[in-house]
A and B are shown apart, each in its own frame.
Chain A
């Protein structure tokens, strides 16, 4: 095994080094090997997890993405048209109402980001618990 030389200060065989380096070896209990192998055999007997059916799922995912994308596009288009129509008919919409309509996209984006961060934090919390 290759030994990497450490600088003199660290290689100095201080008492701390010697104490920490001289641990008496622990011998595993007699049943340890059998216990590990029993669990390995148990795992080996379990049926392999079913792989995710990507071939079947991909068309569905693509279709769903397309539908949602198209829906979002149509919704945005309708919203823009509606806001223009409102302007054409000269309805007097107060600026405090009109501005939020224009910024609806940003609000939706902010909500989406919040949702993602909430889901992410839940996932992290779930892993660490």
Chain B
């Protein structure tokens, strides 16, 4: 998310150029934000092809509505809120096929400590389980973790008060914990811990 602050000036310059009629300047915006938007879309649908389609649609909407960015909020806040709206309506039109929450079974056999692949698959089950959450809890979870657990940014993206988002997150976690009761009792695996450390270091 550090890109958000560093690219603010570049975003403003590109938006100004686009609004002045220089279409090619939009490429800079796409180049800077394609990663975050594709990743955000991926968390909404967990389908790579569809994530790129949804991100592309979000960029097109941004292109059409660029003049509506009033600069009261940062460009990234505006773009993420717009993208969230696009993803939400896209998924309403063509919902992803998800199992109901009750049908997602927690793997019975714990992964062996050295079997990183099996463990990753197991964690993927949990990530996919987020998509099976009731709609009102799903999006807060998606956005909260996408924004690296930054409650205020997630709330701004959703256009919800922080308190509401916090309550929904709490309920969503409770639902996930009830579905995966053993996760909290386990210690963090070395593979995930390493991944965590890598991410922290890169921030």
Q: Are B177 and A16 in contact (CB under 8 A)?
A: yes
Q: Are B23 and A40 in contact (CB under 8 A)?
A: yes
A95 on interface, CB distance cutoff 8 Å: no
Q: Give the contacts of A66-115 with B (CB-CB under 8 A).
A: none
Which residues in A have their C-beta under 8 angstroms from that of B80?
Answer: none
Instruction: Count residues on chain A whose CB falls below 8 Å from chain B CBs.
Output: 34
A56 on interface, CB distance cutoff 8 Å: no
Q: Are A32 and B23 in contact (CB under 8 A)?
A: no
Q: Are B26 and A40 in contact (CB under 8 A)?
A: yes
B16 on interface, CB distance cutoff 8 Å: no
Find the B residue at minimum CB distance from A19.
B123
B96 on interface, CB distance cutoff 8 Å: no
A26 on interface, CB distance cutoff 8 Å: yes
Which residues in B have their C-beta under 8 angstroms from that of A32?
Answer: 34, 38, 52, 55-56
Find the B residue at minimum CB distance from A128.
B92
Which residues in A have their C-beta under 8 angstroms from that of B153?
Answer: 1
Which A residues have a C-beta under 8 Å from some C-beta of B?
A: 1-4, 6, 9-10, 14-29, 32-33, 35-37, 39-41, 43-44, 128
Closest 10 CB pairs of A and B: A4-B151, A20-B145, A15-B183, A4-B152, A44-B23, A28-B38, A28-B34, A19-B123, A22-B195, A36-B59
